[in-house]
Structure 1
Amino acid sequence: MNPSVITYGALALAIICETIATTSLKQSEQFTRLVPSLITVFGYACAFYLLSVTLKAMPVGIAYAIWSGAGIILLSIIGIVIYKQRLDLSACIGLGFIVLGILIINIMSKTGAH
């Protein structure tokens, strides 16, 4: 299998695990609810392990930029859909810049795991 497929696959799974963990963190109510607390701990452990797999082939700054940026976008969407949170125009513009930054890194940069 192509190393970049493995690298980006591990990164995608890390992002998903981190998103699940952060969503569960809110539901854990400061670690007072057992199941969401366990999901949070397990999700973050999986996310960091998968991020470490990614770092074998991708620079830490690039991997972290993609990981955190995509996580911010996913968690913003979850906040809107699940928690009925509202984003103002400035927040939406800022999120758009994050998406643009991720696209620039992946399409134009030679630094990633291409």
Structure 2
Amino acid sequence: MPLLTVSQAWAVLAVAILMEVGGTTSMRLAEGFTRLTPSLMMVLFYAVSFTLNTMVIRVLGLSVTYGVWSGVGTVLTAMIGIYYFKEPATAVKMVSIGLIVIGVMGLHSATRVGT
């Protein structure tokens, strides 16, 4: 019997995604492990994210969990790069982000069809 319902799994996955984004952002702020606090935060955020993912995989399955986690995490991280770190928002980058969003929506809908 799963420890989480499907609705709970999606909520936990959302937190896991935010933790992963926090870890990736902290990686950028750590400047190659030369700054202690962001380096420690990176490890903490990733540890929490992976722990939550292991809970969610039991309910949503590997393909959906990892696909949504990595896809949404990639989009959010790209947006942080563009808005916070002032990276260029090229047309290719924006179209690619849109394609990731479409893929994540497809994976999400696959869980609704299968239940």
TM-score normalized with structure 1 length: 0.91
Unaligned 5+ runs, structure 1: none
Unaligned 5+ runs, structure 2: none
Identify the structure with the greater helix proportion.
Answer: 2
Q: Match for residue 49 of structure 1? A: 51
Is contact 2:60-2:111 (8 Å) kept? no
Q: Match for residue 80 of structure 1? A: 82
Compared CA separation, residues 113 and 21, structure 1 to 2 (3 A): farther
Q: Match for residue 62 of structure 1? A: 64
Q: Match for residue 35 of structure 2? A: 33
Q: Percent identity?
A: 31
For this pair of structures, how many residues does the alignment match?
A: 112
RMSD of aligned Cα (Å): 1.7
1:42 deviation in Å?
Answer: 0.2
1:87 deviation in Å?
Answer: 2.1
1:113 deviation in Å?
Answer: 7.7
Question: Partners in 1 of 2:113 and 2:38 — Cα distance?
Answer: 34
Question: Partners in 2 of 1:113 and 1:13 — Cα distance?
Answer: 23
Question: Partners in 2 of 1:104 and 1:55 — Cα distance?
Answer: 17
Q: Which amino acid aligns with 1:35?
A: T
